[in-house]
Chain A
Amino acid sequence: MEALRFTGTGSEYFKIWIVNVLLTIITLGIYYPWAKVRNRRYFYANTNLADRNFEYHATGKQLLLGFLIGLVLFVIYNIVTQVAPQFAVVFMALFMLILPWLIWRSVMFNMKVTSFSNVHFSFRGKLKTSYKIFLGYPLLVIIFIIILGIVASIAIPQLHIETMENPTILIIGSIILGFLSMLVYVFIIAIIQKKSKEYIIGNSFYGQGEFSIKLETKKFLTIYAKAIGLVLIPLVVMGLGTLGMGAGGVEILFVIGYLGFMVSFLLVGAYIVSRTRAYIYENTLLDNRVSFKSTLGARALAWVMFTNFLMIIVTIGFAMPWAKVRMARLMLENTLVDTSVGFDDYITQEQERGGAIGEQIGEVFDVDIDVGF
């Protein structure tokens, strides 16, 4: 097994990044898609495996139209949600309806414009499956929340009457109920995560080579269950801290709350990312012979995330390039690929052309679908 290497440096990327910023400012934002291409290409082309590298082939011109459409929609969305919140619901529903299509197009486009050693990737997932995963399951979550709301609105007034003399039962009851609903919610999220990984990786191709993935829902749920355990620790600490501070003032509570939120977000996020990543890589194969492995640890990831955050805050954003390079290096150096078979047999497959519109609209709305490691 061989680890991926990142050959870029923070200072080199800083220069590219700052020139991107300059040109984006001068062109009042129009340069943004070209800047994005330069950014991405820098990271892809500096990703090295067995002395060969990746490449990002999209052009600024390809991305411009989608970017402009996305921007207009984004501005309309922002204004509508502030002026008429009741329409925001309609907007959200419409967005949910096109999201699966956006994801499908995004993945397809991004795969197509990515190559490794002159061979392009491709994605052949079905649109129908995308709807099942990215519309069907979220609808389930919504139905679940509605049912919960109905149950709560019926049960709580009754409980209230019965437990007037004994409020402890009410408190304990609602804690248990809250915990259970959080559990169900997190599990549905875990299942969506698992399904989407299977969908994206399992329908991807490297040249004629087919990726296959086999995941068990139980393993996935275990990771998320442990993450919930992990999130309870900082919550309890925060709760005790709050009690201890007593009337320590709103300011102190605010600071504790923010820090506590950040630390638990970091730890839980890092834990879930590193564990699911390891599990997914372990169970992914290319052509049933090339295997993958992730050695990324939760603590290392949390540490880099945290120090990156501090760096960015202290430098009001100007350390972003170094932060991104550090993160890329950490991710790549912890990605192992079995290179014993070699890649010489792989040949790019001709694919139908498809535009970048979906990809760019998705990007503006923060639909984060990235190819690669």
Chain B
Amino acid sequence: MVEGYWHSKGSAERFYATFDINDLGRYTVVVEDKTAYRGDVASLKISERLGNVERKITLEDGSLFTTLDNDAIDTLFRHRQKSNAFVHYLETHMQWIAVAFVVAILTGISFFKWGIPWTSEKIAHALPYETNQLIAKGSMKFLDKAVFDESNLSKDKQEKIRNHFQTKIAPLSYEDDNKIDYKVYFRSWKMGDTEIPNALALPSGEIIVTDKFIQLATNQDEIDAVMLHEMGHVVHRHGLEMLIEGTFITVAVMMMTGDSSSIGDMGVGLGSALVSSSYSRGHESEADLYAFKKMLKGGIDPKSFSNIMNNMTEYMNEQNDDNETKKENKILDYFASHPSTKERVELANRYSECFKQGLMSCK
């Protein structure tokens, strides 16, 4: 016999009542004024067990028996009705909680570490080539309006770099993807009074180099090294991958925070910033590797990549803090979109060793 309360259909008023089931599969609810409700157990609707919240049994006539004695109800109904006990079973057994915990951690880590980048890469490469053009459409116009100024380099110099690129460098990537139509643009990029040395590639194969970068490059090899790095982004379709990764992250975040109030949202924002910058670092390393491999093939010393990287970093450091001693900031490294220059230079040096030995590939 289970003790609880009885409500007539839809009424808030409740009466003390008892509930019992006999051997023939008939139930009896006796309300405090001795009224009794009887019927077949199969006609009852029982709410699912959830922690220890009040259990609700709806009778045929819509009236309701409620009780907090969950265990007694589970015992009474054990063999009589299919109850949704599976989830509750998981929730109350420590070994399953432990399994769930481990699965959650492992899936979480692998999903973000390998699942998203891997799937994004597959999708990015499965999409037709034209998708790259589509996502880059209008970007050049926007950048010209918002970021860049016209280049101050002489037309001769521009033509010389362009010609060299189209005849010597661009063909190096034909074996990977011969649809890409590379174009080189020269622009000036200023932030405040500082001229920014940089090179960037749009998914469509448009490579933009800034005046300061050309100035800082001491020889043709250094320009080629950076061009190859940018081509690496294009060949690997990093622009498209970033877009797909971004969509995955937002959907995952939506699922995680869906039913929570905004308390955790800021933590989640921090987390997704960390994740996407880690993907971005992955892309940079991939583009570096691509550049080094092509340099071995094209007979360019990978050392030139580390040279120009060092030049640019040095220049930017000079601009940023004239006298200030720059402190290492380990935490912020996790937010950086590029791997640390030190790591990149080390890899370049390793490839340079291979280059000097005349190897065509490097381990």
Contacts and interface: CB of A to CB of B under 8 A. Distances in A.
Interface of A: 7-8, 12-13, 15-16, 18-19, 21-25, 29, 32, 36, 38-42, 45-46, 52-53, 55, 71, 74-75, 78-79, 82-84, 86, 116-120, 207, 247, 249-251, 254, 262, 265, 305, 308-309, 312-313, 316-318, 320, 323-324, 327, 343-348, 363-364, 366, 368
A320 B260 contact: yes
Interface of B: 7, 9-14, 50-54, 56, 64, 66, 87, 90-92, 96-97, 99-101, 103-104, 107, 134-135, 137-138, 243, 246-247, 250-251, 254-256, 258-261, 263-264, 266-268, 270-271, 320-321, 324, 326-327, 329, 332
Given A36-B258, A347-B11, A75 B97 contact: no
Given A41-B53, A117-B14, A82 B246 contact: yes
Contacts of A346: 11-12
B52 A38 contact: no
B64 A118 contact: yes
B285 to A, nearest CB: 23
Contact of B99 (A22, A52, A313): A22
A23 B87 contact: yes
Contacts of A7: 52-53
B267 A75 contact: no
A118 B12 contact: yes
B321 A119 contact: no
B97 A308 contact: no
A249 B327 contact: yes
Contacts of B268: 317
Contact of B97 (A19, A39, A82, A247): A19
A300 to B, nearest CB: 14
Contacts of B263: 305, 308-309, 312, 323-324, 327
Contacts of B267: 309, 312-313, 317
Given A207-B12, A247-B321, A251-B329, A19 B264 contact: no
Contacts of B107: 25
Contact of B10 (A18, A305, A348): A348
A344 B266 CA distance: 43
A247 B324 contact: yes
A19 B13 CA distance: 35
A29 B134 CA distance: 30
B104 A16 contact: no
A15 B255 contact: no
Nearest to A331: B261
A19 B11 contact: no
B243 A15 contact: no
Contact of B247 (A22, A24, A78, A344): A78
A119 B10 contact: yes
Chain B interface SS verdict (over half): helix
A36 B259 contact: yes
A313 B266 CA distance: 9
Contacts of B104: 18, 21-22, 25, 318
Nearest to B243: A82
A18 B101 CA distance: 6
Contacts of B64: 118
The 7 A-B pairs at the shortest CB distance, nearest first, are namely A348-B10, A45-B53, A22-B100, A344-B13, A118-B7, A346-B12, A117-B12
A15 B12 contact: no
B14 A18 contact: no
Contacts of B246: 78, 82
Given A18-B104, A118-B14, 14 more contacts: A16-B50, A16-B51, A19-B90, A19-B97, A38-B87, A41-B53, A45-B54, A74-B251, A78-B247, A82-B243, A251-B329, A313-B270, A327-B263, A347-B11
Given A32-B255, A363-B258, A347 B10 contact: yes
Contacts, number: 161
Contacts of A36: 258-259
21 contacts: A12-B51, A16-B91, A21-B100, A38-B50, A38-B87, A41-B50, A41-B53, A74-B254, A78-B246, A78-B251, A116-B12, A119-B12, A207-B12, A251-B327, A309-B263, A312-B263, A317-B264, A317-B271, A324-B261, A346-B11, A348-B9
B52 A249 contact: no
A22 B53 contact: no
Contacts of A320: 260, 264
A29 B255 CA distance: 8
Contact of A345 (B12, B324, B326, B332): B12
B103 A22 contact: yes
Nearest to B103: A22
Contacts of A265: 266
A309 B3 CA distance: 42
A83 B243 CA distance: 8
A39 B256 CA distance: 13
Contacts of B247: 75, 78-79, 82
B10 A19 contact: no
B56 A55 contact: yes
Contacts of A46: 51, 53
A118 B10 contact: yes
Contacts of B329: 251
Contacts of A345: 12-13
Contacts of B320: 250
B259 A39 contact: yes
A42 B91 contact: no
Contacts of A40: 259
Contacts of B137: 84
A262 B264 CA distance: 12
A18 B135 contact: no
Nearest to A23: B87
Nearest to A39: B259
Contacts of B326: 249
A239 to B, nearest CB: 20
A360 to B, nearest CB: 10
A118 B11 contact: yes
A249 B321 contact: yes
Given A22-B100, A36-B258, A249-B327, A83 B250 contact: no
A305 B267 CA distance: 12
A55 B50 CA distance: 12
Contacts of B56: 55
Given A18-B97, A42-B53, A24 B260 contact: no
Residue among B9, B12, B92, B258 with the most chain A CB within 10 A? B12
A323 B264 contact: yes
Contacts of B243: 79, 82-83
B360 to A, nearest CB: 39
